[in-house]
Amino acid sequence: MKTALITGITGQDGSYLSELLLDKGYKVIGILRRHSVAEKQTFRIDHIMDNENLILEYGDLLDIGSLISLINQYQPDELYHLAAQSHVGISFKQPIFTSEVTAMGTMNVLEAVRLSGSKCKVYNAGSSEMFGNQIDDDGFQRETTKMIPVSPYGCSKVFSYNLCHNYRNAYDMFICSGILFNHESPRRGLNFVTNKVAKGAVEIYYGIKDKLHLGNLNASRDWGHSKDYVNAMWMMLQEEYPDDYVCATGISHSIKDLCEVVFNQLDMKWEDYVVSDQKFMRAEELEFLKGDSTKLRTKLNWTPEYTFESMMNEMVSFWLDELKPVSKRSV
């Protein structure tokens, strides 16, 4: 039985990855940060908490001793480093904390693996935010695209990405970085704009709210489903040699497109309800993301199952059921 250690197991990707690995017969060790309201921390993985092959341990990215201890105790075959302060907007408000957790946290993970003498394969969660507004001539971002990020979060991820390259070459460690474009899901990805739009539209549909306030409506993103992307993470660590891969759908949609798709599902016109609010604008905007995942698709035979439309349909259906008024639930 293989053993996998996951940082960020209670996040969106961590929960889907845990399901995938448990289904494949792994023993999964998840690292939890100690929170004062612990009962809410594991809501994304509550449905698998009874699995005997899932073990949760307290640890922290900023406490290298706890990481070394867990690696020595469980001797993982694979380590998936997903934890970070990953909210781009918050990274402008808390740049120092974001840098400490997202950048130095990765340093601690890599040092913990190195100092413990572990030969485990390491996956590092990169981000399309690393590219900033750099776009190749054909309109795509890929592994060779220049990285000039436009947020403290993106800067921290570039540090982590380069550090993984350094450790891979300097210490002959098996480290893969997945450069993941926007990947989301209902309920588990509550902090992302797709869920904000889907939930907001349903709230308007049910008469709970009148308007939906968003930031830059012209920003375009390459959105995929987290289920598809965690499968790519696993595939990267099954290879004989480590490498870095862009994981994306190759199709970009604007926030306006997103609103149109969602509100159309509810037979409403998004223009009547959506407001572009200055308070949601970033200090420096990332305008356009569209990833070229040719390398991942050809070398690892990765193919996403979800389309943008099917993902958004899933989100709208989820919120229609989740927010359904009590009077309608019994109908």
The per-residue pLDDT for 37 is 59
User: Binning pLDDT at 50, 70 and 90, where does residue 282 land?
Assistant: low
Q: What is the pLDDT of residue 36?
A: 59
Instruction: Tell me the pLDDT tens digit for each residue of 37-61.
Output: 555 678 788 888 889 999 999 999 9
pLDDT given for residue 215 in this prediction: 85
The pLDDT, as a whole number, for residue 327 is 44
Residue corresponding to tokens 């549909």: 205
Q: Return the active site residues.
A: 127, 129, 153
C-beta of residue 79 within 8 angstroms of C-beta of residue 114: no
Comparing 99-103, 215-219, 259-263, the range with the smallest average pLDDT is 215-219
Looking at residues 311-326, what average pLDDT do you find? 90
Beta strand spans in the chain (E): 3-7, 27-32, 54-58, 78-81, 121-127, 175-180, 183-184, 212-214, 220-221, 224-225, 245-247, 253-254, 274-276
Predicted pLDDT at 279:
75
Give residue 331's pLDDT.
42
Digit-coded pLDDT (tens) for 159-199: 999 999 999 999 999 999 999 998 888 766 666 889 999 99
**Residues 73-131: tens digit of each pLDDT:** 999 999 999 999 988 889 999 999 999 999 999 999 999 999 999 999 999 999 999 99
CA distances from 276 to 177, 198, 212, 241, 272 (A): 35, 16, 9, 46, 12
* Mean model confidence pLDDT for the chain: 92
Sequence spans of domains, the chain: 3-184+224-247, 193-221+251-288+307-329
* Cα–Cα distances in angstroms (integers) from residue 130 to residues 113, 120, 142, 178, in the given order: 24, 26, 11, 12
What does the pLDDT read at residue 50?
A: 85
What is the predicted pLDDT for the residue at 17? 97
- Residue 64's pLDDT is 97
More confident residue, 331 or 218: 218
Tokens representing 255?
């926030």
pLDDT at 311: 93
Summarize pLDDT for 63-86 with one digit per residue, the tens.
999 999 999 999 999 999 999 998
The token pair that represents 42 in the structure block: 């594991």
Q: What is the pLDDT of residue 86?
A: 85
Give the pLDDT of residue 38: 56
Tell me what pLDDT residue 89 has: 86
Homologous superfamily assigned to 193-221+251-288+307-329: UDP-galactose 4-epimerase, domain 1 (3.90.25.10)
Residues with Cβ within 8 Å of residue 272, at least 6 apart in sequence: none
Predicted pLDDT of residue 211: 92
The domain at 3-184+224-247 falls in which architecture?
3-Layer(aba) Sandwich (3.40)
Least confident range from 28-32, 36-40, 56-60, 200-204: namely: 36-40
> pLDDT digit string (tens) for 145-154?
999 999 999 9
Q: What percent of the chain has pLDDT over 70?
A: 94
Average pLDDT over residues 213-232: 93
Segment 136-153 mean pLDDT: 97
SS3 100: helix
